[in-house]
């Protein structure tokens, strides 16, 4: 669908710049405590479907709750998650491409890391940012921190009903 044919809400929510910055926030969160890690690309495709769904974003737990436990407790999310992931594959791809082109993101091996570009505040904040925008940035960082570093990728993907 042509960009101008999209609703204003879709143009705002699925804006490649915004989505690239969300992925940057998630990859920064994933690296907290160990900057040698890169957010696995397969997991990068989970970030936007979680963050851009307000209901799912508001139901995120604390870091003490394992992702596998949370997914088990919320079957209503996993039931619709695969379809939402499929719908956002192109959006995620476009955000990764833009982020890499602007040096906001970098692909290292099979993972995504923050690019070398430095922002005064990271993620950049605008005076016009709504509370939803701020919540999305916070949730993206949280999801990056929350994505299991010790579980197999296939475990999380299969629990959410998606496959690489």
Q: Sorting pLDDT into bands at 50, 70 and 90, what band is 163?
A: low
Q: What percent of the chain has pLDDT over 70?
A: 88
Return d(Cα 3, Cα 50) in angstroms, integer: 23
Q: What is the overall mean pLDDT for the chain?
A: 86
Does some domain include residue 63?
yes
- Mean pLDDT within 60-85: 86
Residue 162: predicted pLDDT: 80
Residue span of the structural domain in which 40 resides? 3-159
- Mean pLDDT within 98-127: 86
Q: How many domains does the chain have?
A: 1
The answer, yes or no, to whether residue 114 has pLDDT greater than 90, is: yes
Exposure letters 37-70 (e unless 16+ CB within 10 A, then b): ebbbbbbbbbbbbbbbbeebbeebeeeeeebeeb
Half-sphere exposure of 85 (CA within 13 A, CB side): 19
| Strand, helix or coil for residue 58 | helix
Q: What is the pLDDT of residues 18-38, one digit of tens each?
A: 999 999 999 999 998 888 889
Residue 36: predicted pLDDT: 86
The answer, yes or no, to whether residue 109 has pLDDT greater than 70, is: yes
Residue 136: predicted pLDDT: 92
Return d(Cα 121, Cα 112) in angstroms, integer: 20
Tokens standing for residue 35: 């900057």
Does some domain include residue 117?
yes
Return d(Cα 153, Cα 164) in angstroms, integer: 9
Does some domain include residue 164?
no
Residue 1: predicted pLDDT: 63
């Amino acid at each position: 669908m042509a960009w101008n044919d999209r609703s204003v809400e879709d143009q705002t929510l699925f804006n490649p710049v915004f989505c690239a910055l969300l992925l940057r926030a998630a990859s920064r969160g994933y690296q907290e405590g160990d900057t040698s890690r890169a957010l696995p690309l397969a997991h990068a495709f989970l970030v936007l479907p979680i963050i851009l769904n307000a209901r799912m974003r508001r139901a995120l737990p604390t870091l003490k709750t394992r992702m596998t436990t949370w997914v088990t407790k919320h079957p209503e999310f996993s039931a619709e998650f695969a379809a939402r992931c499929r719908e956002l594959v192109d959006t995620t791809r476009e955000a990764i491409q833009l982020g890499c082109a602007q040096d906001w993101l970098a692909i290292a091996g099979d993972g995504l890391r923050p690019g070398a570009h430095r922002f005064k505040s990271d993620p950049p904040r605008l005076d016009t940012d709504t509370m939803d925008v701020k919540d999305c940035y916070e949730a993206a960082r949280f999801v990056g921190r929350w994505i299991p570093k010790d579980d197999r990728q296939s475990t999380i993907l299969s629990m959410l009903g998606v496959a690489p």
